[in-house]
Amino acid sequence: MVTILIEDLIVETMIGAYRWEKAISQKLLISLNLQYDGQIAAETDDLNVAIDYAKVSAQIQTYCANQQCALLEKLALDIIKLLKEHYPLQKIMIKIRKPQALKNAKDLAISMEQTFTD
């Protein structure tokens, strides 16, 4: 099992339940823990049989830039579905931080995970 960790990927997206949030782009920080059977990639040293984390990052940034969600939970689930559709992942853990969400708190975050058996 190989685990790819991407921490605090910066994305810009339209997110929020309030009217004023729907009118502005906001910065989110996305962290991922992606698990897959990377044995062949490790043995062959071949990017073609590995998960290209640069492509993963770019896909997430592009997806977020073109989406509008009210809830972080919805965005997290959408990203999980996107990644599972494109990569042979066995487990996905995602954490999305919205640093400016609460005036009196340092940070706000949600996390979600899914395990796949196929």
Q: pLDDT value at position 20?
A: 84
Q: Which domains does the chain have, with CATH numbers?
A: 2-115 (3.30.1130.10)
Note the pLDDT of residue 28. 97
Residue 104: strand, helix, or coil:
coil
Q: Catalytic site residue 95? A: no
At residue 40, the pLDDT reads 93
Residue at 53: amino acid letter: Y
Residue-wise pLDDT tens digits, 96-113: 999 988 888 989 999 999
Per-residue pLDDT of the chain (118 residues; tens, 9 = 90+): 999 999 999 999 999 888 888 888 999 999 999 999 999 999 999 999 999 999 999 999 999 999 999 999 999 999 999 999 999 999 999 999 999 888 889 899 999 999 998 7
Residues 36 and 87 sit within 8 Å (Cβ to Cβ)? yes
Mean pLDDT score of the chain: 94
**Backbone angles phi and psi of 65, in degrees to 5:** -65, -25
Q: Which of 27, 98, 103, 106 is catalytic?
A: 98
Q: Which residue(s) pair with 15 in the sheet?
A: 69
- Residue 22 has what pLDDT? 82
